[in-house]
């Protein structure tokens, strides 16, 4: 310590510099560094109480320099150096020893240099700052000790240099932590806001990254001329609570949103601008994603309308065939009952073929009697034994048609390729979903990607918002399973 009026001011300035640095850092970074800064400042001021505690600050100071910026000593060698520094600080006669002062200074600088060499690139900047601080802080008393060993008189300028270095150390470390806070906040924002689709709202991500639980995001609605939050409730910046800062968000001169945040959290104008830019980007990105989702919904709705229109047209064609061509063929068959052998049979065969074609276009039984009856008819007319079961409430016409064609195509594949002896059809409607399963005991080995029929089925199921799975291990039969949502 230095005596005299100016010296007293300088002494007070050193203590206050470390106390202020610790208090500034403490609420913003969860790190022991703030406690070490406060301990250094407090022990420095306590040094005025007596000679025995004049150098008490050396312990927490060295601890701070060798653990910055995390506040943790990660290597045993660093713990040994810090322990020696605390021992030196507590044993005043030892601390007054010139050789001990020189040895401690060189050891601390060497340890700080080793940290820089062993730290990865991302942490090297802060460790290099700690090395610079350790060099300026520790070499000043070491130089004074060397001078005293050489017999030079007490050098007041060396003490002034030491205290100036301490003030510079406190300011530099606090400023660096402030920069790191800004960098960490911006990095966290970029990462978190890029994962909005993973869960969590924009407000939640911002509040977590900036550690401001009361933060509010307002979205500009041009039609109402005001802001709303994510729940649609109005947000009025004029009603912000005391201590709340309002940051407007604009894109190309047009309002897109507003941030209401703790003024102490974003008290750096550059940080405010950076955060605002990131949030603007997130808002624009969210708007674009919403537009894409809307376009996808429009396309899906269009696909459903196309399928529904195709089903309606198939139904119309089936009715025309049944009520027109088939009826006329029936009349012709009656007129030809007395014709030579073979002619009535050919007419009846043509009528049967026409009826089967009409059923392929759209099954009349499905329209008149429902899904269960239509599937029973499919099962009866299949060239192999088929068991059919439908459980649950009736389905909407478009969905029932999809289920029917899934079963029809699956049975057609069974007949053509499976070499099966039996098949089973199960349709279950429950809890907002219909599950369709067609299984056979054939040879298996079906590749859905190679058959146009199954690909078409998959497309049709997808239009209804469902999924189609084909399980066909070689030699173990085939199971086709469709899962479709049932809308009320």
CATH number at residue 376: 3.30.565.10
Same-domain pairing of 36 and 181: yes
Report CA torsion sign: 147, 148, 152, 155. Answer: positive
Q: Is 247 in contact with 261 (CB distance < 8 Å)?
A: yes
pTM: 0.44
Q: Band of the pLDDT at 303, cuts 50, 70, 90? A: low
How large a percentage of the chain has pLDDT more than 90? 14
With a CB cutoff of 8 Å and minimum separation 6, the contacts of 123 are 69
Q: Which domain holds residue 477?
A: 369-485
Same-domain pairing of 181 and 208: no
The answer as to whether 338 is a domain residue is no
Residue 347, pLDDT score: 54
Tell me phi and psi for residue 480, to 5 degrees.
Answer: -105, 125
The answer as to whether 454 is a domain residue is yes
List the structure tokens of 25: 């850092």
How large a percentage of the chain has pLDDT more than 70? 70
Q: Answer with the residue of higher pLDDT: 208 or 28.
A: 208
Across 202-216, 234-248, 263-277, the highest mean pLDDT is recorded for 234-248
Same-domain pairing of 215 and 289: yes
24-38, 124-138, 264-278, 365-379: segment of lowest average pLDDT:
264-278
The answer as to whether 83 is a domain residue is yes
Same-domain pairing of 118 and 246: no
Mean pLDDT of 441-457: 78
Same-domain pairing of 165 and 207: no
Residue 440, pLDDT score: 94
Q: How many separate domains does the chain show?
A: 3
CA–CA separation, 481 vs 379, rounded Å?
A: 17
38-42, 296-300, 374-378: segment of lowest average pLDDT:
296-300
Domain boundary among 264, 298, 332: 298
Same-domain pairing of 186 and 206: no
Summarised one tens digit per residue, pLDDT across range 234-253 is 889 888 888 888 888 777 77
Summarised one tens digit per residue, pLDDT across range 105-149 is 899 999 989 988 887 765 677 888 889 988 988 888 888 888 778
Same-domain pairing of 242 and 383: no
Is 50 exceeded by the pLDDT of residue 3? no
Domain boundary among 190, 221, 245: 190
Same-domain pairing of 119 and 206: no
Q: Is 437 in contact with 401 (CB distance < 8 Å)?
A: no
The answer as to whether 103 is a domain residue is yes
With a CB cutoff of 8 Å and minimum separation 6, the contacts of 122 are none
Mean pLDDT of 380-388: 91
Residue 349, pLDDT score: 56
Is 60 exceeded by the pLDDT of residue 214? yes
Is 60 exceeded by the pLDDT of residue 222? yes
Is 70 exceeded by the pLDDT of residue 394? yes
Which one, of 31, 14, 42, lies nearest residue 137 by Cα?
14
Is 50 exceeded by the pLDDT of residue 39? yes
Same-domain pairing of 62 and 121: yes
The answer as to whether 23 is a domain residue is yes
Summarised one tens digit per residue, pLDDT across range 136-186 is 888 888 888 887 787 776 666 777 888 888 888 888 888 887 766 655 655
Rounded to the nearest 10°, the torsion over CA 448, 451, 456, 458 is 0
CA–CA separation, 190 vs 208, rounded Å?
A: 13
33-37, 337-341, 415-419: segment of lowest average pLDDT:
337-341
C-alpha dist (Å) from residue 394 to 370, 399, 403, 426, 465: 8, 10, 12, 14, 18
Residues in the chain: 488
Mean pLDDT of 250-277: 74
Residue 161, pLDDT score: 82
Q: Band of the pLDDT at 2, cuts 50, 70, 90? A: very low
Across 56-70, 88-102, 179-193, 313-327, the highest mean pLDDT is recorded for 56-70
48-62, 110-124, 262-276: segment of lowest average pLDDT:
262-276
List the end-to-end C-alpha distance of the chain, in Å, as a whole number: 84
Mean pLDDT of 294-298: 66
Average pLDDT for the chain: 78
The answer as to whether 349 is a domain residue is no
Same-domain pairing of 43 and 130: yes
Q: Band of the pLDDT at 397, cuts 50, 70, 90? A: confident
Same-domain pairing of 292 and 179: no
Q: Band of the pLDDT at 231, cuts 50, 70, 90? A: confident
CA–CA separation, 457 vs 484, rounded Å?
A: 12
Residue 192, pLDDT score: 56
The answer as to whether 250 is a domain residue is yes
Residue 7, pLDDT score: 62
Domain boundary among 143, 162, 190: 190
Alpha-helical regions (H) of 47-155: 58-67, 76-90, 92-95, 98-118, 121-149
Which letter does DSSP use for residue 414 in this model? I
117-121, 266-270, 274-278, 351-355: segment of lowest average pLDDT:
351-355
Q: Answer with the residue of higher pLDDT: 157 or 430.
A: 430
Same-domain pairing of 46 and 167: yes
Mean pLDDT of 258-280: 72
CA–CA separation, 233 vs 256, rounded Å?
A: 16
Tell me phi and psi for residue 425, to 5 degrees.
Answer: -120, 125
Alpha-helical regions (H) of 119-155: 121-149
**Does residue 467 sit in helix, strand or coil?**
strand
**Adjacency order of strands within the sheet including 467-471:** 386-391, 423-430, 433-440, 478-485, 467-471
Residue 312, pLDDT score: 62
The answer as to whether 326 is a domain residue is no
């Amino acid at each position: 310590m230095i005596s005299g009026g100016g010296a007293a001011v300088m002494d007070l300035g050193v203590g206050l510099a470390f106390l202020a640095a610790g208090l500034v850092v403490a609420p913003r970074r969860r790190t022991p560094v703030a406690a070490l800064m406060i301990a250094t400042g407090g022990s420095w001021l306590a040094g005025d109480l007596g000679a025995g505690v004049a150098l008490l600050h050396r312990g927490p100071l060295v601890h701070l320099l060798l653990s910055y910026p995390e506040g943790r000593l990660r290597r045993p060698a660093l713990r040994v150096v810090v322990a020696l520094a605390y021992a030196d600080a507590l044993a005043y006669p030892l601390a007054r020893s010139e050789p001990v002062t020189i040895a401690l200074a060189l050891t601390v600088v060497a340890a700080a240099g080793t940290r820089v060499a062993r730290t990865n690139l991302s942490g090297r900047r802060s460790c290099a700052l700690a090395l610079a601080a350790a060099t300026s802080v520790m070499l000043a008393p070491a130089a004074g000790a060397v001078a005293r060993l050489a017999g030079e008189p007490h050098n007041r300028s060396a003490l002034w240099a030491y205290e100036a270095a301490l003030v510079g150390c406190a300011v530099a470390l606090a400023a660096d932590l402030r920069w790191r806070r800004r960098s960490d906040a911006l990095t966290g924002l970029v990462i978190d806001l890029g994962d909005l689709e993973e869960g969590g709202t924009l407000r939640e991500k911002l509040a977590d990254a900036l550690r401001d639980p009361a933060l509010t995001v307002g979205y500009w609605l041009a039609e109402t001329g005001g802001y709303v939050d994510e729940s649609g409730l109005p947000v009025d910046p004029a009603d912000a609570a005391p201590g709340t800062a309002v940051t407007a968000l604009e894109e190309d001169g047009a309002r897109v949103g507003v941030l209401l945040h703790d003024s102490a959290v974003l008290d750096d104008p550059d940080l405010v601008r950076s955060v605002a830019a990131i949030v603007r980007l997130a808002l624009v990105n969210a708007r674009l994603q919403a537009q894409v989702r809307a376009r996808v919904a429009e396309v899906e709705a269009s696909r459903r309308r196309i399928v529904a229109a195709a089903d309606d047209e198939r139904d119309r064609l089936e009715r025309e065939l049944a009520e027109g061509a088939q009826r006329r063929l029936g009349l012709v068959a009656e007129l030809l009952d007395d014709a030579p052998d073979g002619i009535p049979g050919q007419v009846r065969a043509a009528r049967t073929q026409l009826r089967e074609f009409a059923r392929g276009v759209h099954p009349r039984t499905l329209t008149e009697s429902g899904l269960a009856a239509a599937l029973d008819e499919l099962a009866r007319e299949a060239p192999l034994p088929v068991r059919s079961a439908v459980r649950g409430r009736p389905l909407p016409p478009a969905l029932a048609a999809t289920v029917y064609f899934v079963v029809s195509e699956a049975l057609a594949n069974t007949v053509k390729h499976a070499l099966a002896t039996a098949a089973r059809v199960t349709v279950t409607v429950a809890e907002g979903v219909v599950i369709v399963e067609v299984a056979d005991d054939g040879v298996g080995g079906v590749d859905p990607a190679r058959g146009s029929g199954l690909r078409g089925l998959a497309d049709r199921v997808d239009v209804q918002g469902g999924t189609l799975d084909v399980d066909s291990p070689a030699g173990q039969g085939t199971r086709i399973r469709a899962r479709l949502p049932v809308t009320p």
